[in-house]
Amino acid sequence: MIRLLSVDDHAIVRDGIVRLIATQPDMELIAEASDGQEAVEQFRKHRPDVTLMDLQMPNMNGIDAISSIRGEFPEARIIVLTTYEGDVQVVRALKAGAQAYLLKGSLRKELLDAIRAVHAGQRRMSAEVAAAIAEHATDSALSPKEISVLTLIAGGNANKEIAAQLSVSEESVKSYVRSILAKLGANDRTHAVTIGLKRGIIGL
């Protein structure tokens, strides 16, 4: 029997998983959590075989929860189940210790197959997610400072305001912006923000 923990801040998603798992003779949903912090607590308490983890949640996000659980229980097997297919977000989740990354729109069979595969020690990834990673495999990654600048641009800040917040010169900010546009292949600041959000480089 594969014992499962379902983590999602939307009750409707958890309800759907409850119904799906109930139809499987070899699976049992033993616990649920609505945020990352609760996920860590429930994992400690129940030690599930496989955890289904959402990424965008209050209090503690899914990637931090994965890191926390895997730090304490290195053998933990975790499947990310999310609406986000951005390649940067995927890589972060896999680096944190997830063994599978599926989109919530995945077919039910794909999720059930992934649960059994991960339980058996294998890895799984949605085709769309794999394509997103492949598309940007050779791209230059943004530096931490460039990510900070892009985040502030997304917040509606002008160069002068960004310079003040990061304690750098306006010229430095302009240089960062030029580098961001080049690395992302963006036409302008707005386009860069759109790409950054889509790929999971920044969040709102």
In which residue are the tokens 């059930």 written?
112
| pLDDT tens digits for range 115-165 | 999 999 999 998 888 888 888 888 888 999 999 999 999 999 999 999 999
Name the fold adopted by 2-135.
Rossmann fold (3.40.50)
Q: Is the pLDDT of residue 195 over 90?
A: yes
CATH architecture of 144-199: Orthogonal Bundle (1.10)
The pLDDT assigned to 89 comes to: 87
Domain parsing of the chain, residue ranges: 2-135, 144-199
Of 33, 136, 34, 43, which is closest to residue 90 (Cα–Cα)?
136
Percent of residues, the chain, with pLDDT higher than 90: 81
Domain 144-199 in the same topology as domain 2-135: no
- What is the arithmetic mean of pLDDT over 63-73? 97
The edge-to-edge listing of strands for the beta sheet with 124-125 is 27-33, 2-7, 50-53, 78-82, 100-103, 124-125
Q: Left (φ > 0), alpha (ψ -120 to 50) or beta: where does 121 sit?
A: left
Instruction: Indicate the pLDDT class of residue 44, thresholds 50, 70 and 90.
Output: very high
